[in-house]
């Protein structure tokens, strides 16, 4: 494949860049396109993996057939089989009519399965049968159906690690990995970052009817040194922000830095994968709630000790209303830091007065009763509360809410259905 052919492919599919790793990936995609071989595209999120699936489809003999892109991580686990393979009427609750799955409607075409690592194990077994024998069975049916579909899969996860952990079938991994294509992240593409910046600046200039923004030489150096964890998607968002918000169309290094998040910044998540390896989101939530319960118990013990003594450290026994703010603190919603932190120590400020001796009244019993009620914590309620907060924070964008919570988008979708959350 000569340089002219390579340039033609880039222009046809809107690919910007000249890095050697990118050019190699394009050449592999073009070379494998005329065959029916299964292709596995790997690369970080936002690096442009779907563009390569379109290259493979449009340069193949299936180009006149259907092309469907399916995000496996966005489909709930309970319905993924129905989406891919279809179902018969009455196969499950809500199945009011027979439905065709993607493998049936994509016959003679190409099916792009993004986030393939998110497939449940039982669905992986069904997918393997389709790849090896071209056969599938609808949910609720016993009839074997044939299909002629080319599968192109993509993932931003390490399938080798998932195979070692038992999360992904080894036989399916080797069947998918017939032809691997690695899409390099933006930070490995050198000067391509600058080319993409100019391309996006021109696009937003046309969109918003303004003069395109330009970078000074110092700003270009800052841009090239930034790692871009969100890859092309992040760069595009940054260019759009600058194009809309900056009145000066020449962007210097200081101005550019305002739009680049700190390199060591971390997105808030429910747990750290390294620190909480092997734990499910429910187990992590239990840990958070146990920490809260511990703090409530300590608070209860402190209040009880004060209220059951005539004096406490030479101070007069305080009134019930003096501690109403403590009970309000105990009722505060659970926050979700990356690792649960112990509560700040409670400092009691009580004005010293001459000690008085008087018997305990009914108010002491009320305090004990209210604190006891705070120990009744519902895991489901707290889990629902965390999900609602994450959705509100991300303007109901489930993908980013799932990232904040440290769970897959499919799991978040299932939780939303389970708790009947609007959004």
How many angstroms separate the CA atoms of 246 and 105, rounded? 47
Judged on CB neighbours under 10 Å (0-12, 13-18, 19+), 97 is exposed
Say if residue 158 is in the same domain as residue 141. Answer: yes
Say if residue 64 is in the same domain as residue 133. Answer: yes
Q: What is the pLDDT of residue 10?
A: 92
Q: Is residue 273 part of a domain?
A: no
Q: Is residue 270 part of a domain?
A: no
**Please, are residues 240 and 201 in contact by the beta-carbon 8 Å criterion?**
no
Say if residue 249 is in the same domain as residue 173. Answer: no
Q: Is residue 365 part of a domain?
A: yes
Say if residue 31 is in the same domain as residue 150. Answer: yes
Q: What is the pLDDT of residue 252?
A: 95
Q: What is the pLDDT of residue 402?
A: 82
How many angstroms separate the CA atoms of 248 and 225, rounded? 23
Q: What is the pLDDT of residue 199?
A: 95
How many angstroms separate the CA atoms of 378 and 319, rounded? 31
Say if residue 44 is in the same domain as residue 168. Answer: yes
Say if residue 384 is in the same domain as residue 243. Answer: no
Say if residue 72 is in the same domain as residue 166. Answer: yes
Q: What is the pLDDT of residue 377?
A: 54
Q: What is the pLDDT of residue 262?
A: 86
Q: Is residue 275 part of a domain?
A: no
How many angstroms separate the CA atoms of 195 and 198, rounded? 5
Say if residue 162 is in the same domain as residue 194. Answer: no
Q: Is residue 11 part of a domain?
A: yes
Q: Is residue 265 part of a domain?
A: no
Which portions of the chain are predicted below pLDDT 70? 264-291, 293-294, 304-378, 423
Count CA atoms closer than 13 A to 351's CA, side-chain side.
Answer: 3
Say if residue 117 is in the same domain as residue 52. Answer: yes
pTM metric for this prediction: 0.61
CATH for 236: 1.10.8.60
How many angstroms separate the CA atoms of 361 and 356, rounded? 14
How many angstroms separate the CA atoms of 359 and 304, rounded? 15
Domain end marker among 168, 184, 200: 184
Q: Is residue 404 part of a domain?
A: yes
Domain end marker among 152, 184, 216: 184
Say if residue 220 is in the same domain as residue 327. Answer: no
Say if residue 153 is in the same domain as residue 235. Answer: no
Say if residue 358 is in the same domain as residue 401. Answer: no
Q: What is the pLDDT of residue 365?
A: 43
Q: Is residue 266 part of a domain?
A: no
CATH for 86: 3.40.50.300
Please give the residue range of the domain that contains residue 391. Answer: 380-419
Of 218, 222, 224, 215, which is closest to residue 249 (Cα–Cα)? 215
- pLDDT, one tens digit per residue, over 254-305 is 999 999 988 764 444 444 343 344 444 555 565 666 667 667 777 777 776 6
Count of structural domains, the chain = 4
Q: What is the pLDDT of residue 408?
A: 83
């Amino acid at each position: 494949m000569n340089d002219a052919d390579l340039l033609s492919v880039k222009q046809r599919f809107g690919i910007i860049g000249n890095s050697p790793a990118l050019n190699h990936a394009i050449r592999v995609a073009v070379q494998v396109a005329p065959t029916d071989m299964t292709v596995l595209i790997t690369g970080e999120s936002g690096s442009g993996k779907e563009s390569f699936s379109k290259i493979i489809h449009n340069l193949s003999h299936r180009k006149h057939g259907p092309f469907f892109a399916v995000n496996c991580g966005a489909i709930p686990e309970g319905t993924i089989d129905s989406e891919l393979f279809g179902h018969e009427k009455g196969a499950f609750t809500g199945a009011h009519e027979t439905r065709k799955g993607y493998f049936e409607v994509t016959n003679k075409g190409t099916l792009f399965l993004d986030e393939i690592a998110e497939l449940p194990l039982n669905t992986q077994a069904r997918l393997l049968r389709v790849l090896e024998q071209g056969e599938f069975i609808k949910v609720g049916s016993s009839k074997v159906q044939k299909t002629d579909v080319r599968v192109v899969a993509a993932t931003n996860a390490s399938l080798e690690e998932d195979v070692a952990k038992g999360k992904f079938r080894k036989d399916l991994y080797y069947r998918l990995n017939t032809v691997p294509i690695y899409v390099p992240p933006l930070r490995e593409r050198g000067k391509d970052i600058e080319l993409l910046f100019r391309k996006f600046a021109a696009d937003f200039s046309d969109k918003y009817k303004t003069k395109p923004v330009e970078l000074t030489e110092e700003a270009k150096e800052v841009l090239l040194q930034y790692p871009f964890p969100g890859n092309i998607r992040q760069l595009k968002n940054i260019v759009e922000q600058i194009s809309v918000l900056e009145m000066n169309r020449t962007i210097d290094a200081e101005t550019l830095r305002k739009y680049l998040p700190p390199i060591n910044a971390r997105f808030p998540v429910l747990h750290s994968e390294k620190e909480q390896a092997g734990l499910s989101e429910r187990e992590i939530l239990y840990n958070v709630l146990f920490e809260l319960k511990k703090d409530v118990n300590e608070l209860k013990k402190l209040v009880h000790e004060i209220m059951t003594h005539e004096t406490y450290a030479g101070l007069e026994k305080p009134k019930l209303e003096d501690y109403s703010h403590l009970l309000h603190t105990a009722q505060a919603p659970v926050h979700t830091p990356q690792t649960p932190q112990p509560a700040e120590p409670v400092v009691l400020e009580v004005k010293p007065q001459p000690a008085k001796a008087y018997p305990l009244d009914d108010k002491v019993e009320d305090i004990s009763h209210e604190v006891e009620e705070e120990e009744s914590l519902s895991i489901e309620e707290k889990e629902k509360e965390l999900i609602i907060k994450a959705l509100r924070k991300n303007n109901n964008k489930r993908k980013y809410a799932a990232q904040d919570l440290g769970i897959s988008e499919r799991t978040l979708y299932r939780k939303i259905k389970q708790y009947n959350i609007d959004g």
